[in-house]
Structure 1
Amino acid sequence: MSQVRLSPYIRIAWDHTLHPPNKINRRALFDYELIYVKSGEMRVLIEDVEYRGVPGDIFLLKPRQHHSIEAMNDQPVRQPHLHFDLVYQSDSPTLKTSFLPVEAMSEQELRLFREDVTQELPNHFRLRHPLIFEKLLFDIIHEYESKHPYFETAATGLFLQLWAQLAREHLWSTHAAIATNWVQLERVKSYLNRHVDKDVTLDELASVANLSSSYLCRLFKKTFGVGPIRYHLIGRIEHAKKLIQFTDLPITEISELCGFLSIHSFSRAFRNAEGVPPTYYRNFPSRSEQ
């Protein structure tokens, strides 16, 4: 999923209460559904695995997964939910909600299933901070209910925040070391961001974090997607790009301001990162021309 560029389309945003004996019989969706248990309890069967949902729980139903839903204890369950595509497709605005199992679908319906790009995510979440998720969800629902100008754009922005929160919570829950060392990781990242004017070493960063260099490197990459040295190099190159484009400083001086020992090492690192030489950005339109 981390490799996928999200362009979500929200199909349904609904604050719904399921009253027994009503229930959702076995079916498979073409798209995704995200359900939040606000109150009550629910039994959710997903591909023959049974879950008990209590307030604060989240269920992610994925394309083609058979599932059924019913309230427990003969009490209603408030379950605000979203139906959505993670990647916009040409038929996203016209796709309907499925209430059939796969075996009852036509050939045409079978072609409507979205590709699942969330294999690493579970079907059931029990969050540490459900109120953050809850607020974002109800803000999305409010946008769709009020339909103010540009509500779809506003809702899409909120959804991306919600999805990031869900992914982070999953990362923290499955990698306890990240949550345990979060303060140290943020300290290292802040240190790197403040020192784009010099080279750094792993030993130096390990001292900042009070962790071993090998452990820090593994943990940093797991958390931020790249190792600390690579992260720092990207930051230095980004800083250099701004100086090249928006100042008249000589490129040799810029390379020194970004901590490179020579113009040659700077040019080589810049080209490896950007695919173009530093002078490419010097030829961009200046701010006065924009």
Structure 2
Amino acid sequence: MDDKRYTLKVGELIMLPSGVYHQNEVVSRPEARFIGIHFDFFNELTIQTEADMVVNEETIQLHKFATEACAEGMTPLSATPVYSPSSAAVQLMEQLVHEFTMRPPGYELICKALMLQLLTHLLRSPYLNSSRHVSVHGDKLRELMKQIEDAPSEPWTNTGIAKQMNLSIDHTAKLFKQMVGMPPNEYIQSIRLREARKLLRETDCSIELVGIQSGYPDIHYFSRTFRKHEGISPREYRKLSRML
């Protein structure tokens, strides 16, 4: 980008401003998976298909480039394009993709609200990651979060997490809130629902088995929880995701 090469590691994010020449190359093996969002924050463009975002280099129309969303008093995201987003930021991106894919009533407003939260997380990341604000328990907490993501079906509880951290439940919740943007129980719920959505989209497992593998051994509780957060039942979600 701009004649400079950036190498991204797993979990990193790059901000590609509108109107900037760039080329992406996947060099990892055996594969790489991405979450990508093209976002017109000020509703300047009419995007119907992927082709609407591709620029004809022979007839460049500068007025059709979207404007970067910036916050007064904060450095634009494009100034330092590579970020290590928090788990909360990654979840916001996943929610964005989910809303735009499913397009329930009011999805455009929800997408803009989620994008505003995501921008705030990224703009604040240099401040939150400074040495003054990194907890001495940060590495241990990040490892614990990875364990939850790798094994969402385990019986994770606030008490168990606090015990692993060797801290009080209140202190652990405070650290979680500071680093992730949500308390432990909400984080666990979000990871389990993310796993459930993935299994519903990508496998033919029964709804009961999806629930068990996601951390919901009671199929009725799983169905109620899924509907509460996603607006539709697991079965309806699977059918709709495959239609789209």
What TM-score comes out, normalization by structure 2 length? 0.50
- TM-fit CA distance, 1:269: 1.1
Deviations 1:26-47 (A, max 9, x none): xxxxxxxxxxxxxxxxxxxxxx
Alignment of 1:1-290 (within 5 A): 87-88=41-42, 90=44, 117-118=71-72, 121=74, 167-173=124-130, 176=133, 178-284=134-240, 286=242
Structure 1's 166 and 180: CA in aligned 2 closer, same or farther, altered over 3 A? Answer: farther
Deviations 1:223-269 (A, max 9, x none): 21222211111111111122222222221222122222411110111
- Higher mean displacement: 263-272 or 202-211: 202-211
Structure 1's 180 and 262: CA in aligned 2 closer, same or farther, altered over 3 A? Answer: same
Structure 2 residue runs without a partner (length 5+): 1-14, 21-39, 46-61, 83-119
- State the alpha-carbon separation in 2 of the partners of residues 193 and 205 from structure 1: 13
- State the alpha-carbon separation in 2 of the partners of residues 274 and 188 from structure 1: 26
- TM-fit CA distance, 1:279: 0.9
Structure with the larger strand share: 1
CA root-mean-square deviation: 4.1
Deviations 1:12-34 (A, max 9, x none): 9xxxxxxxxxxxxxxxxxxxxxx
Structure with the larger helix share: 2
Alignment coverage as a number of residue pairs: 155
CA contact (8 A) 1:244 1:281 kept: yes
CA contact (8 A) 1:255 1:262 kept: yes
Identity %: 23
Write the letter of the residue equivalent to 2:214.
C
- State the alpha-carbon separation in 2 of the partners of residues 252 and 89 from structure 1: 42
CA contact (8 A) 1:244 1:254 kept: yes
- TM-fit CA distance, 1:115: 8.8
2:107 alignment counterpart: none
Deviations 1:42-62 (A, max 9, x none): xxxxxxxxxxxxxxxxxxxxx
Structure with the greater alpha carbon radius of gyration: 1
- State the alpha-carbon separation in 1 of the partners of residues 80 and 241 from structure 2: 42
Structure 1 residue runs without a partner (length 5+): 1-6, 13-85, 95-113, 124-132, 138-162
- State the alpha-carbon separation in 2 of the partners of residues 115 and 240 from structure 1: 33
- TM-fit CA distance, 1:275: 1.4
Deviations 1:123-153 (A, max 9, x none): 8xxxxxxxxx99859xxxxxxxxxxxxxxxx
